[in-house]
Structure 1
Amino acid sequence: MSALGVVGGVTQPVLLVAGAPLLVGLMQQVRARMEGRVGPGIGQPWRDTRKLFGKEAITPKGTSEMFRLAPLVLMATVLVVATAAPFLVVESPLGPVADLFVVVALLAFGTATLALAGLDTGTAFGGMGASREMTIIALVEPTLLVAIFALSVRVGSTNLADIVAATLRDPARVVSPVSLLAAVALAVVVVAETGRLPVDNPSTHLELTMVHEAMVLEYAGPDLALVELASSMRLAVFLGLLANLFLPWGIATETSAATLLVAVAALVIKVSVLGVVLAAAEVFWAKLRLFRVPELLAGSFLLALLAVAASFFLA
């Protein structure tokens, strides 16, 4: 474990915990402005989180430990990924955990745990949201694996830090057909995994359209605060991975205060730009019918397969 990896392992989770709600607030503010509204301000998600932590935790009758532990498991999986993945530095303090398959498994484990908690409530909304979420994740996770695997073929490693370091050494990879196809596939994955339009609408509670919100309707107080904070961190994690896998410039390659500050600024700018673009696009997108979502995800999986084929034939 190098000094650079230790610095990244300490700094990255702190930055993501502090900045993820602000990213959500920025996206909400962009949407509000484009829709002709004033908006609550970028800091509103943090104010909501602080208020929820001060309220009483309420557990529905008949629920098991699954319901109570799900927010902690969801937060823990995101924190591990935030520590291990290359967001600020090219080296990871948890080398084996930074592997593609481990990262995807951790993110999927958090989602599956929350779906089980939705089923544990025994409500119609919880079961409906859980079934929809598992349908989406069954189509999204293979795309995520295949798309990043396409980037790993030329590198010879599925470690995310190695992939980012290889792109830094050879910037021409960014404009290759493999990277372009994988980038489009991953963009669709980010939209679906984080529950954004056109797959899901995070700002609605309509019973016919809810996916993520349906699973967390029974949560309140600190438990709901953890779920919302973890969800915002997942959004920041996916946007950060999308940015650094294809545009890793600015990431720290040595241990110094200057390079770390540059890495923080670069990550904040890249993730903010991606968040603003996504929020602006949502203003013009309508939510897809549930039965049309598999078609969209199947298209992204096909692009990921094409990226893998191109990585072998164009090597």
Structure 2
Amino acid sequence: MSAAWIMAVAQAVLVAAVAPLLVGFTRAVRARLEGRAGGRLVQPWRDLGKQLRKEPLIPADAGMFFTAAPAVLMATSVLVATAAPYLSTRGPLSAGVDLIVVVGLLLLGTAALALAGLDTGTAFGGMGASREMTIAALVEPTLLLSVFALSTRVGSTNLGAIVAAGVSDQARILTPASALAAAALAIATLAEAGRLPVDNPATHLELTMVHEAMVLEYSGRDLALVEWASAMRLTILLGLLANLFVPWGVATSLHPGSVALAAVVFLGKLGVLGGLLAVGEVFAAKLRLFRVPELLAGSFVLGLLAVITSAVLA
């Protein structure tokens, strides 16, 4: 196995291992700020281990979409985690890590989970699926536009090329257009990951659930895969936000020392963004459902302004 593939596999393992810890870290920070003891940092891993040892229960009316959705969601998350430029811009799949491909893979996982919610035939599953696809229809264009603002100055929609350009020439990244694009991508990340103020991952109130409504019928190993993949998607999006707009520390070679240093810097970035996410959720309230499109429309406008500004300044 070549050094590039070893690095890619190690990167995927790192993202998969850190994702539950990131969720536990955000919960712990939020609990401390709210004056609660909270759970341990490794509690999400303990929950996953408990679920992985249990047999899944399949509803009587469920079909192939319900059965396949956890595997599809996990597979798309692992593929993005393997290919994205988190540790180095010289990965084995760097030539194919296009912005549109990454967004398409994320949308494929979202659509698979929405179909699973519909496949059960329950009212809450259908409600959650319809809400999720409404949010996705507004989020995906914002994800594209926010990164297009950077690709306009670089001349490529390849994520590795964008990160490499930011490492070599910081003036291409530190622009007013980048600030607008970062704000748009941050809002889209909250919506895509199902965090406040778009969705509350800690709630089980049926009338306000989005993600939780689609996974109510899952149990055992299937539920573990869904929750693990959801944590990975949060880590993936925060990692892209960090490396696209703060690319310092990303290795531009496959030297083991550079990749190891990049891993440490990457974990530090995730810790900072996870802490900021937890702090923001303490002071943020969940928006009413009919106000969510207004927020996402605002993020789309920010992304559009970022593209226009980047084209003018180019």
TM range (shorter): over 0.9
Q: What is the DSSP-based 3-state SS (H/G/I as helix, E as strand, rest coil) of the residue aligned with 2:208?
A: coil
Q: Tell me the TM-score normalized by structure 2.
A: 0.98
Q: Is the 8 A contact 2:87 2:259 kept in 1?
A: yes
In 2, the alpha carbon distance for the partners of 1:254 and 1:155 equals 19
Gapped regions of structure 1 (runs ≥ 5)? none
Q: What is the DSSP-based 3-state SS (H/G/I as helix, E as strand, rest coil) of the residue aligned with 1:254?
A: coil
Q: Is the 8 A contact 2:56 2:220 kept in 1?
A: yes
Residue-by-residue CA offset, 1:223-247 (whole Å, 9 max, x unaligned): 0000000000000000000000011
In 1, the alpha carbon distance for the partners of 2:261 and 2:193 equals 27
Residue equivalent to 2:168 = 169
Q: CA deviation at 1:45?
A: 0.2
CA RMSD of aligned residues (A): 1.1
Residue equivalent to 2:96 = 97
In 2, the alpha carbon distance for the partners of 1:30 and 1:310 equals 36
Q: What is the DSSP-based 3-state SS (H/G/I as helix, E as strand, rest coil) of the residue aligned with 2:157?
A: coil
Q: What is the DSSP-based 3-state SS (H/G/I as helix, E as strand, rest coil) of the residue aligned with 1:175?
A: coil
Q: Is the 8 A contact 1:3 1:255 kept in 2?
A: no
Residue-by-residue CA offset, 1:104-158 (whole Å, 9 max, x unaligned): 0000000000000000000011000000000000000000011111110111111
Gapped regions of structure 2 (runs ≥ 5)? none
Q: What is the DSSP-based 3-state SS (H/G/I as helix, E as strand, rest coil) of the residue aligned with 2:117?
A: helix
Task: Give 1:10's aligned amino acid.
Answer: V
Q: CA deviation at 1:4?
A: 5.4
Residue equivalent to 1:228 = 227
In 2, the alpha carbon distance for the partners of 1:117 and 1:40 equals 30
In 2, the alpha carbon distance for the partners of 1:8 and 1:173 equals 27
In 2, the alpha carbon distance for the partners of 1:84 and 1:205 equals 34
Q: What is the DSSP-based 3-state SS (H/G/I as helix, E as strand, rest coil) of the residue aligned with 1:286?
A: coil
Residue equivalent to 2:215 = 216
Which region of structure 1 is more displaced relative to structure 2, 90-99 or 155-164? 90-99
In 2, the alpha carbon distance for the partners of 1:136 and 1:178 equals 24
In 2, the alpha carbon distance for the partners of 1:176 and 1:95 equals 25
Instruction: Name the CA shift for 1:262/1:186 in 2 (closer, same or farther; >3 Å).
Output: same
Q: Tell me the TM-score normalized by structure 1.
A: 0.98
Which region of structure 1 is more displaced relative to structure 2, 294-303 or 167-176? 167-176
* Percent of pairs with identical residues: 63
1:8-157 aligned within 5 A: 8-157=7-156
Residue-by-residue CA offset, 1:37-77 (whole Å, 9 max, x unaligned): 11111100000000000111100001111101100000000
In 2, the alpha carbon distance for the partners of 1:227 and 1:96 equals 29
Residue equivalent to 2:194 = 195
- The number of residues matched between the two structures is 314
Residue equivalent to 1:301 = 300
